[in-house]
Amino acid sequence: MGNVHVFDHPLIQHKLTYIRDVSTGTKEFRELVDEVATLMAFEITRHLQLQEVTVETPVGPSKSHALAGKKLGVVPILRAGIGMSDGILKLIPAAKVGHVGMYRDPQTLKPVEYYVKLPSDVEEREFIVVDPMLATGGSAVDAISSLKQRGATNIKLMCLIGAPEGVEEVQNQHPEVDIYLAALDEKLDEKGYIVPGLGDAGDRLFGTK
């Protein structure tokens, strides 16, 4: 069973508080989501392998360490996932970016896929699927399935806020996928919104309603 990690770093928790706040406007919301994504990327990349390299400092040779060249892929689920991908790329600019376009039908709450574009070397990459909200889990489950159908075998899921229902659904459908959250909230409401959550992530990021 994949693990669920909730990042309790004070900076992540502080910024998440203002992301949740209904009085936070679009500009600040977008900046905070970007910053939290960067901080979460710092935590999520702890396992990356290093290799020894020697560089010349102004004083002499230094046996140092550099990333061993593992290929990473970041896959935002459109559209709200876009709000997190740049924040991750600030730390890992060499990562390739795939996109999965998906919206949740407001009546059925089922995800509808409308676009998929992934890097060509899918089999060789470790993917981080990103979306601010893990509500029923339908969107994340289908996005991960889409990646697997195209050959991906190494996938992590990173969201700002998860509901217990969504976490359970991902664990049931993709038991090997680790889930990384900034918060695990209480429940879903009757419209499938996370309580207390932050409202509609896409609308708050892009100023739509």
Is 69 annotated in some ligand binding site?
no
Interacting residue with ligand PRP among 16, 19, 89, 134 (CB under 6 A):
134
> DSSP assignment of 26-42, as one string?
HHHHHHHHHHHHHHHHH
Question: What is the per-residue binding string for ligand URA in 123-142, x denoting contact by CB under 6 A?
Answer: ----------x-x-------
Nearer to ligand PRP, 24 or 192 (CB): 192
The number of C-alpha atoms within 13 Å of 128 and in the hemisphere containing its C-beta is 30
CB of 25 to ligand PRP, least distance (A): 18
Nearer to ligand PRP, 73 or 131 (CB): 131
CB of 172 to ligand PRP, least distance (A): 13
User: Pairing mode, if any, of strands 154-162 and 126-130?
Assistant: parallel
Stretch that binds ligand URA, among 18-26, 64-72, 151-159, 187-195 (CB under 6 A): 187-195
196 prior amide bond cis, ω within 30: yes
Q: Does 74 bind ligand PRP (CB under 6 A)?
A: no
User: Pairing mode, if any, of strands 133-134 and 126-130?
Assistant: unpaired
Nearer to ligand PRP, 15 or 99 (CB): 99
Which residue out of 24, 45, 86, 104 is catalytically annotated?
104
Q: Does 199 bind ligand PRP (CB under 6 A)?
A: no
Is 120 annotated in some ligand binding site?
no
Q: Does 103 bind ligand URA (CB under 6 A)?
A: no
* Sign of the alpha-carbon torsion through 28, 77, 135, 105: positive
> DSSP assignment of 80-114, as one string?
TTHHHHHHHHTT-TT-EE-EEEEEE-TTT--EEEE
CB count in 10 Å sphere of residue 58: 4
Dist. CA 119–CA 73, nearest whole Å: 8
Whether 200 sits among the annotated catalytic residues: the reply is yes
Q: Does 197 bind ligand PRP (CB under 6 A)?
A: no
Residue type, 60: G
Collapsing DSSP to helix, strand or coil, 198 comes out as coil
| Catalytic annotation, residues | 104, 108, 200, 203
Residues that bind ligand URA (CB under 6 A): 133, 135, 192-194, 197, 200-202
> Could you tell me which residues are annotated as the binding site for 5-phospho-alpha-D-ribose 1-diphosphate?
79, 104, 131-139, 200
